[in-house]
Amino acid sequence: MNIETAKAVFARFDVDGDGHISPEEYSKVMAEMGDPYITVPKAQALISDADTSRDGLLSFDEFWAIQAR
Measured distance CA(36)–CA(18) in Å, rounded: 24
Question: 17 is in which domain, residue-wise?
Answer: 3-67
CATH of the domain at 60: 1.10.238.10
Task: Give the pLDDT confidence score for residue 31 in this predicted structure.
Answer: 97
- Tell whether the model's pLDDT for residue 69 goes beyond 80: no
pLDDT confidence band for 68 (50 / 70 / 90): confident
pLDDT confidence band for 67 (50 / 70 / 90): confident
67: three-class secondary structure by DSSP: helix
Measured distance CA(63)–CA(66) in Å, rounded: 5
Q: Are 24 and 43 in contact (CB under 8 A)?
A: yes
* CA 36 to chain CA mean position, Å: 15
Q: pLDDT tens for residues 12-65?
A: 999 999 999 999 999 999 999 999 999 999 999 999 999 999 999 999 999 999
Domain count, the chain: 1
